[in-house]
Chains A and B, each alone.
Chain A
């Protein structure tokens, strides 16, 4: 939308600093084209669908109202909410904790190996890593079967009971996504000036105190950044429940999340407009939450 003014501005500025600016535009252009083609145009298309009816007439908020009245809507909101609470807490606590532990590891080689291990699951593509979990959760084929039996679960359907799903999906998401964040946090920890840590140590601070008083406060922006992105990904929960649903022949995970409901509206109930309304809701929620986090944490303030 704002592309025209940008090119205009570039034209007037070109005389002053021609070379770096032109190179910058070339570098950014690749991203901008993809962003427009696969980000902005589909979003605009989605918003258009959300506010029109099947006859392409303006429908106001009726799609949003009708989608919210559907019998699957409220349960889906509850499911996603519960899942987000479990997942975000686990992510913040464990990622920060594990990154701190990793940073404290004295031996270089151990540190390198552990870092690599953390990162591996994230290197698998989303759906493939969920497939791994389908096997993990089926006691007849799982390598963790003795553990599952110890908990009293002898069959796949006992493992995937409705009450377990939020925790299971959070576990899967953590396993597939947390490793990358641990590595990012580790990098951020390395950026904390050594003399600050040294000074603390001279003042008599122990490992725990250094983590609590220096490292975690200095990681704050990274944690906020992680929470914003994780929240956006989490509200769009889809692959985990969808694959569990296919694997369990529909016993668990069908219509579990809002994104699945949107998918069902589009392809089962043949109603793209309701589907788009839900997508737009998710977009708005993510934008609002991101805005709150950014302003409350003074994310863009220079140190």
Chain B
């Protein structure tokens, strides 16, 4: 039922000219407003009525003009590179927060544009992988595999990379990068202190406790980010976000898969070798600079946290990467995933050719993806070129390609992409408790009910087993 309402509301576009006219007239118009409300309501679904059905959706009449592109600050170079390579296309670059950390900016704006009937950007970058869960019912994104982009291009994306974009077999976005979780570590310190890189979580926990005793102040991980559950809980196959259909989710966070990881985190937080600061906080850069022995985290941590002047700024020749530890006895290796952005093409765009060209260029062209991109490209040919460049830079102690390539195929598929933000829920439920000194294990029931509440508010059927 909620889904039906959503679909109807999404397509509603009140006529802006009417609203404006009403505003211009003063007191006497008040009576007319009530009528205005009624008539705008009855114009349901008129948004694209003038357009023609092509490429699997109703398209607005095409025209020339500047291409409006929304990106986060990290993706500005991508848009600039496109503009430079295409001097004949006028690109209007708008920077926004990238919808990161469940900020919901994009949905807020799009719903306003839906009401006014204009203003949508042509192409949008989003750091959230769950956009398709609302953009598709709202009719905001254009399906890309129905004629806009040839399947030969789409097939070049890594296996499973377009899963977050796919609804009922239609692809509604292009993946920017893959963000599988790996174990970053300081090879120089590990060697100096005679430690072995852990391959199982119990080994990791043991090493964490040793480090806390032998080298106080050094950390083996970080649990203070909104995406902490996507690093640890996802890798541990914790059933917190098992989206089973478009409006159904299974949540069971008191299962052994969740408690084992929660108690590992609790142990190391208590010991002092697991930080509870956000890796993007000024306090983290200040306190942990040079003190990170290990850091489980996504593929983009290398460029965004270690080799970054605004991050830890770790010198060349220290950092290496290994596969994320595993739990003994699990059938197949599994890891988590933190973001890996998406490019969405607006179904309302009046410059579809340029918009599609932009989206395929920024995801697939080596000028951006191999040379400038901080993360592991989702487009496979660009990924090989990117890995070659990383090896050439000599920043890492070893070739990081084999580990990343292997991890790319090991992201556990039991963690889905719902409308509600797991990051926002973890942030408001678990983080304040951690600050107050509570254990994660003791907060798991609260986490369970918070996920349930938020999912239900978004119209999901929630089951706990």
In-complex Cβ contact of B435 among A1, A138, A161 (8 A): A161
Checking B8, B34, B108, B224 against A267 with a beta-carbon cut-off of 8 angstroms, the contacting residue is: B108
Check B435 against A157 for contact (C-beta < 8 Å).
yes
User: How many residues in A have their beta carbons less than 8 Å from beta carbons of B?
Assistant: 44
Chain A stretch 120-145: residues in CB contact (< 8 A) with chain B: 138-141
Tell me the complex Cα distance, A287–B22, Å: 26
Answer yes or no: A199 CB below 8 A from chain B CBs. Answer: no
CB-CB under 8 A from B9, the residues of chain A are: 54, 270, 272
- Residues of the A chain whose Cβ atoms lie less than 8 Å from the Cβ of B225: 249
| Complex Cα spacing A170 to B5, Å | 39
How many B residues face the partner with a CB closer than 8 A?
Answer: 49
Evaluate contact between A45 and B432: CB separation under 8 angstroms. no
B27 touches A56 (CB 8 A): no
A267 in contact with B27 (CB, 8 Å): no
At the interface, yes or no: A155 with Cβ under 8 Å from chain B? yes
Q: How far is the CA of A71 from the CA of B457 in the complex (A)?
A: 8
Given the interface contacts A140-B282, A161-B436, A250-B423, does A155 sit within 8 Å of B28 by beta carbon?
Answer: no
Considering the chains assembled together, what is the distance between the CA atoms of A40 and B26 in angstroms? 10
Q: Which of B23, B427, B428, B453 contacts A37 (CB 8 A)?
A: B23
- Determine the residue in chain A with the shortest Cβ distance to B24: A37
B442 at the interface (CB under 8 A from A): no
- Assess the B432–A252 pair: CB atoms within 8 A: yes
CB-based nearest B residue for A245: B428
B431 and A157 contact, CB distance less than 8 A? yes
| A41 part of interface (Cβ distance < 8 Å) | yes
The docked-state distance in angstroms from the alpha carbon of A156 to that of B432 is 11
Q: How far is the CB of A284 from chain B (nearest CB, A)?
A: 20
Query: Complex formed: what's the CA distance from A158 to B10 in Å?
Result: 40
Q: Are the CB atoms of B38 and A56 closer together than 8 Å?
A: yes
Please list the residues of chain A having a beta carbon within 8 angstroms of any beta carbon in chain B: 1, 3-4, 29, 32-33, 36-37, 40-41, 44-45, 48, 54-56, 70-72, 138-141, 155-158, 161-162, 246, 248-252, 254-255, 266-272
Chain B positions within 8 Å of A, measured between CB atoms, are 5-6, 8-10, 22-23, 26-30, 33-34, 37-38, 41-42, 101-104, 107-108, 111-112, 134, 138, 224-226, 277-278, 281-283, 286, 421, 423-424, 427-428, 431-432, 435-436, 453, 457-458
Other A-B pairs beyond A249-B101, A270-B9, 17, CB < 8 Å: A36-B30, A41-B29, A45-B37, A48-B34, A56-B42, A71-B457, A72-B457, A250-B424, A251-B431, A254-B427, A254-B428, A255-B428, A267-B104, A267-B112, A268-B104, A268-B108, A269-B458
